Structure 1
Amino acid sequence: MLRWLWLALAIWGAIHPMAYFIAWFQANGWSLMAMVEAWHANDATSGLVWDLTIAAIALTLWVLIETAQTRAWARLLAIPATFCIGVSCGLPLYLFLRSNPGGSRD
């Protein structure tokens, strides 16, 4: 049951933030650099960006270290999910993949 909760959170973590990103791009143009600039509009947003960046790096290290130990290669999918979508998708996706009932290998 918990495994499916992780998957539901990963899906929500992909869809919900992406809706805001798409709305922003539609209103402001499709410039990634303009979005990065907007993320640093003030100290509050810069703090949030750094908070998520550090969390993404920590998650990536965790995924790499555990994957090297377990050889469960499918778990590496959490890394592009984290950096292309966000920690809100990458972390629950990793927990879903990690809770594979078939054992440690994917």
Structure 2
Amino acid sequence: MVVSIVLELGELVKRFWLLMCVVGTVVPYAVFVPWLLENGLNVPSLIQQASTPIAAFAWLDVVISAILMLVLSARQIARGSKKHWLVVACTCTVGVSLGLPLYLYLGDADSAQLVAPEGHT
């Protein structure tokens, strides 16, 4: 009974991570794509957007988080996980808003395979 409840909660959490992968892709791109269409790939203008202290704070937070995601993924890849290359690609192309929930999803999927009783994987 307890194992069944834990497995059901685990499935719910895994679905939540997948939902957050979608949200973490759609929401940032819903803001970025219109800006890109209006300004083109104007890197100086993009850098200028970070000229206020609060914007610099947000950018630095994201950059540091992305570096951490890449290091965590590199550790998993060094341990033999081939699927964590997807986290690297997603973090570099979309950002931490996709990379983090994907990393958590992959971790939950791996741990579920380790603890699930036979017939529940």
TMscore range, shorter length: 0.7 to 0.9
From 100, 104, 111, the equivalent of 1:95 is: 104
CA distance in 2, matches of 1:39, 1:74: 34
2:85 matches 1:76: yes
Alpha-carbon offset, residue 38 of structure 1: 3.8
Q: Identity across aligned pairs (percent)?
A: 25
From 58, 61, 69, the equivalent of 2:71 is: 61
CA distance in 1, matches of 2:77, 2:29: 27
CA distance in 2, matches of 1:35, 1:59: 27
CA distance in 2, matches of 1:24, 1:36: 9
Normalising by structure 2, what TM-score? 0.75
The 1:78–1:39 alpha-carbon spacing in structure 2 relative to 1, beyond 3 Å, is farther
Extract unaligned runs of 5+ from structure 2: 1-11, 115-121
Extract unaligned runs of 5+ from structure 1: none
CA RMSD across the alignment? 1.6
Aligned residues: 101
Alpha-carbon offset, residue 80 of structure 1: 1.5
The 1:64–1:19 alpha-carbon spacing in structure 2 relative to 1, beyond 3 Å, is same
